[in-house]
Amino acid sequence: MITAVPQRALLGLALIGGVALVFAIATFGFGKTFTVGLLDPMINVLVVLNHALWGSFGLAVIAFTILVRLVTFPLTMRQLQQTRAMQALQPRVQEIQKKFTDPKRRQEEMMKAYREAGVNPLGCLGPLVLQFPILIALFYAIRQTLAISPEALDNLSGHLYSWSYIQSAIPLEESFIGINLAEGASISVLNLNLLVVVLVGFSTWAQSKTTVTVATDERARTQQQMMTWMLPIMFMFFGLSFPSGVSLYWVVTSFVSVGLNVMVYGFPALNIPPLVGPPNPPAPVEAAASVSSEGSGQTRSRPSRELRTSTHGSRRSKRKNRRRRA
């Protein structure tokens, strides 16, 4: 079973990385740090992959996207599992929201519930934020490497390492199975570039459909449903103006996300169960399902239907339930 990387190790790495990053930014500035630390290595790996994969930049983009997703896999898994845990906690969150009218008290109870369930409400945000610079750099790297103009090729020279293996690979072939990776698409021209834009929309939609929603009320759910359609349209719009190489990256990374989503959340519409178990030790049922009575300070326990679902059930909970029944 795939489990999250131990939290302490992640925290340690994040701390070291954070200190190094702050030091680099303070010394060299943000732009230089971003370029030297992320953009340049990515561009050079892309060029090396292109050279190794028979001079096909399309294959290089696909391989590189998968490579990056592999490197960021622990972060992605942590984000997905935190999101799933958040979802599982929603019934209790709703209960707290109904029960407590005092915002301060409500917040305290919510935090308590999160703590008891071993969920960090920002846990799904952190890995996403950490991945974001990587995704932005990747985006720039593909655009830069494609060198869609003489100026771009001139600029590219400043990003390449001086190894002859890399130097001799320039310029890169823009065509990939009939797709011109350096050019965008036009609605008025039916070609494979336009097909890539359609795939951008489809893969973004598929990604949204396989993502677990963390909504506490009907309004939020409606918003999320709207986003399921808005996002693909927006990314298709981007895809029309961007070189198809960038769109290809988006298609591949979206399909990888779909695979990971199905692996972690399952896909009920097709009766696909989750392949990966919950990340954290399960919370005790009494603790997870207990809600303090407002004003009394007393705690009452009652079974929580939502927390006994297969995604949140646990041996420990069952054992406690058996004890309670006995």
End-to-end CA distance of the chain: 33
Residue 213 binds to other proteins (criterion: CB under 8 A): yes
Distance in angstroms (rounded) separating the CA atoms of residues 53 and 302: 60
With binding defined as CB under 8 A, does residue 297 bind other proteins? no
152 in contact with other proteins (CB under 8 A): yes
Which tokens is 142 given?
A: 């593909």
Minimum Å gap between C-beta 316 and other proteins is 26
**Residue placing its CB nearer to other proteins in the complex, 149 or 293:** 149
Among 3, 191, 211, 290, binds other proteins (CB under 8 A): 211
Q: Which stretch binds other proteins (CB under 8 A): 135-143, 274-282, 290-298, 308-316?
A: 135-143
Query: If DSSP codes are grouped into helix, strand and coil, which group holds residue 291?
Result: strand
Candidates 6-14, 21-29, 43-51, 124-132; binding stretch for other proteins (CB under 8 A):
124-132
Q: Which of 44, 144, 203, 244 binds other proteins (CB under 8 A)?
A: 144
On whether the CB atoms of residues 17 and 75 are closer than 8 A, the answer is no
Residue 198 interacts with other proteins (CB under 8 A): yes or no: no
Question: Cα–Cα distance between 226 and 105 in angstroms, integer?
Answer: 32
Minimum distance of other proteins from residue 276's CB (angstroms): 20
For tokens 């519930």, what's the residue? 113
Among the listed residues 5, 115, 161, 167, the single contact to other proteins using CB under 8 A:
167
What's the token pair of residue 68?
């990056």
Q: 139 Cβ partners below 8 Å, 6+ apart?
A: 246, 249
- Tell me phi and psi for residue 291, to 5 degrees: -130, 125
Q: According to CB under 8 A, which residues from 26 to 55 bind other proteins?
A: none
Per-residue tokens: 197: 């834009």
Structure tokens belonging to residue 256: 């990888």
Contact 214, 86 (CB under 8 A): yes
d(CA 298, CA 96): 15
Which one, 73 or 139, has the nearer CB to other proteins? 139
Rounded to the nearest angstrom, the gap between the alpha carbon of residue 226 and the centroid of all alpha carbons in its chain is 20
Instruction: Give yes or no for a contact between 274 and 265, defined as CB atoms under 8 angstroms apart.
Output: yes
Query: Which of the ranges 14-22, 131-139, 196-204, 308-316 carries the binding residues for other proteins, by CB under 8 A?
Result: 131-139
Identified binder of other proteins from the candidate list 149, 186, 299, 309, rule CB under 8 A: 149
Tokens encoding 150: 């003489």
Q: Which is nearer to other proteins, 64 or 235 (CB)?
A: 235
Question: Smaller CB distance to other proteins: residue 224 or 280?
Answer: 224
Burial of 300 by CB count in 10 Å (0-12 exposed, 13-18 middle, 19+ buried)? Answer: exposed
User: Judged by CB, which is closer to other proteins: 133, or 313?
Assistant: 133
- Does 121 participate in binding other proteins (rule CB under 8 A)? yes
Among 28, 73, 202, 238, binds other proteins (CB under 8 A): 238
Give the interface segment with other proteins, choosing from 20-28, 98-106, 151-159, 280-288 (CB under 8 A): 151-159
Among 34, 100, 140, 249, interactor with other proteins by CB under 8 A: 140
Burial of 179 (0-12, 13-18, 19+ CB in 10 A): buried
The residues binding other proteins (CB under 8 A) are 86, 121-122, 124-125, 128, 132, 136, 139-140, 143-144, 147-155, 157-158, 162, 164, 167-168, 170-171, 211, 213-216, 220, 223-224, 227, 231, 234, 238, 241-242
